């Protein structure tokens, strides 16, 4: 048995831990003497262009905007239930305007307009169940 003193959230505890299986101890490394004379820096390596494609940027947390007709539509990013509709037909919106709330897996998610314009049609109402990709609202250009 080995005893340790551990501090958790400001409280000091004394614990005993049993060593099992005879794990060998790790030897301490020998001290290394530092050189007294400076060594010249190594020449910098010339970077070579990478042949692999750069990773795609992370998708934004806003609802995808699907094009259709003379405006664009905001679609559901995931299946869930509409808990609040904050706009009506004719309202002016900006890209970061929260247009509705979508509850999915017991979490409320803000659905943003994603573009500036005027709300054309609100395709869902409070309490509606939606699937991924369902049209929520259409936004006509301003």
Asked whether the beta carbons of 109 and 49 are under 8 A apart, the reply is no
Print pLDDT tens along the chain (142 aa): 788 888 888 888 888 887 776 655 666 666 666 555 555 566 666 666 655 555 555 444 444 444 344 568 899 999 999 999 999 999 999 999 999 999 998 899 999 999 999 999 999 999 999 999 999 999 998 7
Asked whether the beta carbons of 72 and 89 are under 8 A apart, the reply is no
In a domain, 125, yes or no: yes
Asked whether the beta carbons of 130 and 76 are under 8 A apart, the reply is yes
The three-state secondary structure class of 101 is strand
pTM to 2 decimal places:
0.50
Neighbours of 134 (CB within 10 A): 15
* Tally of domains in the chain: 1
In a domain, 3, yes or no: no
In a domain, 71, yes or no: yes
What CATH number does the domain containing 70 carry? Answer: 2.40.50.100
In a domain, 123, yes or no: yes
What domain range is 82 assigned to? 65-140
Tokens in use for 114? 């994603």
Distance CA 115, CA 73 (A): 10
In a domain, 18, yes or no: no
In a domain, 131, yes or no: yes
In a domain, 118, yes or no: yes
In a domain, 10, yes or no: no
């Amino acid at each position: 048995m080995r005893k340790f003193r551990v501090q958790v959230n400001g409280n000091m505890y004394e614990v005993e831990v049993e060593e099992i299986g005879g794990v060998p101890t790790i030897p301490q490394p020998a001290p290394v003497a530092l050189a007294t004379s400076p060594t010249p820096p190594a020449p910098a390596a010339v970077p070579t262009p990478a042949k692999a494609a750069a990773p795609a940027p992370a998708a934004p947390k806003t609802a995808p905007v699907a094009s259709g007709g003379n405006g664009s539509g905001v679609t559901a990013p995931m299946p869930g239930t509409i808990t609040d509709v904050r706009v009506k037909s004719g309202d002016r919106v900006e890209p970061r305007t929260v247009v509705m709330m979508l509850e999915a897996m017991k979490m409320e998610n803000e659905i943003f307009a994603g573009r500036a314009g005027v709300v054309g049609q609100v395709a869902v109402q409070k309490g509606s169940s939606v699937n991924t990709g369902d049209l929520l609202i259409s936004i006509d250009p301003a």
